[in-house]
Amino acid sequence: MTTDTTTPGTDADATTHFGARTVPISQKQDLVDDVFHRVANRYDLMNDLMSGGLHRTWKDAMVSWLAPPHHGRRPFHVLDVAGGTGDIAFRIAARAEGHAKIIVCDINESMLSVGRDRAAERGLSDQVQFVVGNAEAPPFDRRQFDAYTIAFGIRNVPRIPKALAEAHRVLRPGGRFLCLEFSHVDMAGLDTVYDLFSDHVIPRIGRIVAGDDQPYKYLVESIREFPAPARFAQMITDAGFERATWRPLSGGIAAIHSAYKI
């Protein structure tokens, strides 16, 4: 099942899922935005809860697969979408040894504020820029970036095909698309354990830690509604990318998707 499950008709008539609810697609972005306003200061903790702490290893694996260059005639330009707190951007900056220029584009100012503070603390404000923008209409010129990264953000986009088309637009020829996202567990036994953990443990811990279990219930449902890897790879190809592939992580709990603009 995909996040972008729309009904026939005009965009104004279309509906999509927001957790267990069906809502007008025009309302989903505001609802998602509110979720991340509420968890911005606990975002790393949220990811720890959702992944059992594995998200840190998965993000390292994503940046290792990107392998940003640390030398060359010009900086390596990266657009990191929905990465407001800077987790991926800071890893890229470290791996590129100062050779990368990264723009973090996120629709949520609360998340970006956390990221700016962290960049300043790390002395990375000259390498990492934070910009408010929507994945469906990023405020950048075509063929501007060498790489486009998005981690744990694509499933929250109301119109995923539109975001993928925009990723293709802003990349230079030869540019790389990398997406890290929760996926579909493909290991017998682990799927049952993970479902029980998601349904009963994550919302309860969210209520204790954040005082509100609703954002965590939404995030669990959004994972279930995200397309299986083969289907998502086809969506990436449909957006104009080539050589779409993926690597499952931790028994399929997450996956890294890779493709190129040729």
pLDDT band at 130 (very low <50, low <70, confident <90, very high): very high
Q: What is the DSSP letter of 201?
A: I
Among 1-10, 57-66, 162-171, whose mean pLDDT is lowest?
Answer: 1-10
Q: What is the mean pLDDT of residues 38-59?
A: 77
Convert the pLDDT of each residue in 142-161 to its tens digit. 999 999 999 999 998 989 99
Residue 213 has pLDDT above 70, yes or no: no
Q: What is the mean pLDDT of residues 74-103?
A: 96
The pLDDT score that the predictor gives to residue 215 is: 66
Distance CA 86, CA 101 (A): 13
- CATH 3.40.50.150 for domain 35-186+216-260, yes or no, is yes
- Asked whether the beta carbons of 40 and 84 are under 8 A apart, the reply is yes
Q: What is the mean pLDDT of the chain?
A: 85
Q: Which of 64, 136, 140, 137 lies closest to 102, judged by CA?
A: 140
How many other CB atoms are found less than 10 A from the CB of residue 116? 18
Distance CA 18, CA 156 (A): 9
Both tokens assigned to 226: 């995200």
pTM for the model: 0.84
Among 114-128, 161-175, 210-224, 233-247, whose mean pLDDT is lowest?
Answer: 210-224
Residue 253 has φ and ψ, to the nearest 5°, of -60, -35
